[in-house]
Homo-oligomer: A and B are copies of this chain.
Amino acid sequence: MKPFEKLPIEKQARIVNASISEFAERDYETASMNKVVERAGIAKGSLFNYFKTKSSLYFHIYHLALGEVKAYLRKVRDETADLPFDVRLAKIVDSGVQFITEHPRLARIYFRLIYSDDSPNRKKIVDELQSMSDEYLGGIIQDAMDRNELDAQLDKSQSVFFLDAVLTRFLKDYHEALELGDQDRFDREQWVIGITKLFSKGLS
């Protein structure tokens, strides 16, 4: 049993919480183990006893974040399995907005990972996320094609790309606005309508 897991839950939580804050506020290289220790109220030696290196602590936090994201995605996919494409799309956007609202720090870590390049093992992780997204959005597009809601001749991987590009960018901007307390400029409904319309009918 790893030393960290033997700790009382309350202490584990304090450390995880401190780490999330630190990795959310600064990028990987700039995030400081000294500051984590300070935030968590433990000694430096202890932290390095629980996690041998900075990058192993980062992975612990990253996997927590990824687990949360996956849970959200799975939930919305399963709950909407029988609904039409546009409704599913809307629910996915809603789910993303909800995740960001409830876990802004995890969202920050997630976006940082995707968009920056200083996280350790970045390429491996991004590939992993990419194939996750391919499978997830690909499945939803396939469902829609099977139901003749989308053109059966579609280039599926390209469609996934477009969907991913628009959804991710929307959520990133929403998240950024949230951090500035400016999220009111996003009329959620208006955006959901716009996004579904773009993918169903284009701009013409």
Interface residues of A (CB under 8 A from B): 26-27, 29-30, 112, 115-118, 141, 149-151, 154-155, 158-159, 161-162, 164-166, 168-170, 173, 190-191, 194-195, 197-204
Q: Give the distance to chain B from A48, nearest Cβ to Cβ, in Å.
A: 22
- Report the Cα distance A200→B26, complex, angstroms: 41
Query: Which residues of chain B have C-beta atoms less than 8 A from A162's C-beta?
Result: 166, 194-195, 198, 203
Query: Which residues of chain B have C-beta atoms less than 8 A from A154's C-beta?
Result: 203
Contact A151 B203 (CB under 8 A): yes
Contact A200 B204 (CB under 8 A): yes
- Report the Cα distance A117→B195, complex, angstroms: 27
Contact A194 B30 (CB under 8 A): no
- Report the Cα distance A159→B202, complex, angstroms: 10
Contact A204 B203 (CB under 8 A): no
Contact B204 A158 (CB under 8 A): no
Contact B118 A115 (CB under 8 A): no
Contact A200 B203 (CB under 8 A): yes
Residue in B112, B165, B194, B204 whose beta carbon sits within 8 Å of that of A166 in the complex: B165
Q: Give the distance to chain B from A35, nearest Cβ to Cβ, in Å.
A: 14
- Report the Cα distance A165→B172, complex, angstroms: 11
Contact A203 B159 (CB under 8 A): yes
Q: Give the distance to chain B from A36, nearest Cβ to Cβ, in Å.
A: 17
- Report the Cα distance A190→B112, complex, angstroms: 30
- Report the Cα distance A19→B197, complex, angstroms: 45
Query: Which residues of chain B have C-beta atoms less than 8 A from A26's C-beta?
Result: 118
Q: Give the distance to chain B from A196, nearest Cβ to Cβ, in Å.
A: 10
